[in-house]
Amino acid sequence: MNKSDIVVTSGWQAQPDGRGTWDILKSCGGTVLLLCWSSVCPNVLAAEDSKFRKLRSKLSIFLLAILCPDLIFEFHEAGYESWSLRKCFFVNMGGFYLRAPDWKVDGRDSFAINAKQLLFLIKAGGITITQVLWFTFTTIGRAVQGLAMTTLELTTLGLIFMMTVASLCWWHKPMDVSAPIVLDLKVDLRTVLAEGNAPSDASEMAYMGTPLSFIGRHEWFYSRLWFYYTQMLRELGLAPKPCSPYQFDHFSSIDFHDPDVKAGSFAIPLVIIYGSIFMAAWKFHFPTEIEQTLWRISAIASSSLTAVSAFETLQNHSPELVASWFSCLLRCRNPSSNRSSTTERPPSKFIVMYHRLNESLDWLRNISPNRDPALHLRLRNFIPTSIMIFAYCLSRGYILAEDLASLRTLPESVFATLNWGRYSPIF
């Protein structure tokens, strides 16, 4: 259909016979709120934390799910077959406390397990599933009948896709566990460390948080990058600082675990599909041509930057493989570089200046408390990745802003109701 054939309506539209602007906002907003709120599963906080902090923890993940649902999506296989997924999730989300006679986390005695923890609560289900299915069917039905849809509805469909996959991966994760389980050691922790052949200075590694932090710790590029950003916000006063350099009273709900090859091969295509969903609005009606162009650029950035991120993940896992690719590429472009040279050239002024600048910026590579060596970043990776993340956030921000801004001018067929849509019992 040509642009000249589209009948456009401007401003707020009431719903006398068909659907109006409020119907669109109510349907999309209700679906997003129900889906994201019931899908996110924050980790267990400390027992003494207030209800406000627990609510804030879930709210932060809820907002992240709306802004970047592909960051929420994470797939991880159980490492111990003898444990159920529910038990593994409960442990990994900080469900157990360890208390040793010679190392006190707090001064209180052990407390009993409450009924909510025994039952692990029931997953929030019925009304969310009904609303998601109804919204999906009505939106697809509009496309089948040739009726226009808004970018807000398209974004909601993408969110449904990503959060549904995340919910399936988190299906066995307990929800809303109110307090951890305390495990009391009968012997000193130093004795346990000695019998387990732990490093001699494990109990003195202040930068690692606890004497057991050396077990299974594996920091990778994106976990270091996330810590760097959060620490930078804390130093600027834009994020609350913990009471100690490293909190050991709970595990953060927002964490980037290093995915293995199998998990990556499963997750990367799904995330790329999510980023490509916005390409479906390529020929949608927009209030202005500039907004349409910016949407197209943002849609391309949303999908392409995800592919670049996948390549960076591959580089993190197999740097030798990526290095060999670049070596082959350089040899193909410059075969003379393979010839041996009998004379060594002195370093150029540019190389000397580069090394001096590199040494002067060493303080930027690690801003963690106590200079934790596991959180060291390479600037040649940090700077381009930060630019890429900024571009991604900019594109996602524009898509969300345009979802609302485009409602001011819409094709007339957007407000046409499906033959069976007006009998909806939901919203």
427 pLDDT exceeds 80? no
In the chain, the number of structural domains is: 1
Provide the domain limits for residue 184.
20-335+356-423
**Domain presence at residue 372:** yes
Between 248 and 412, the more confident residue is: 412
Q: What is residue 223's predicted lDDT score, i.e. its pLDDT?
A: 77
Q: Which whole number is the average pLDDT over 170-178?
A: 59
**Domain presence at residue 179:** yes
**Domain presence at residue 272:** yes
Round to whole Å and give the CA distance between 177 and 42. Answer: 9
Percent of the chain scored above 90 by pLDDT?
8
User: Residue 174 is encoded by which pair of tokens?
Assistant: 């307990």
- Number of neighbours of residue 143 by Cβ within 10 angstroms: 12
**Domain presence at residue 252:** yes
Round to whole Å and give the CA distance between 86 and 175. Answer: 10
Q: Which whole number is the average pLDDT over 347-362?
A: 66
Q: What is residue 297's predicted lDDT score, i.e. its pLDDT?
A: 94
The model's pTM: 0.66
**Domain presence at residue 347:** no
To the nearest whole number, what is the mean pLDDT of the chain? 67
**Domain presence at residue 417:** yes
**Domain presence at residue 342:** no
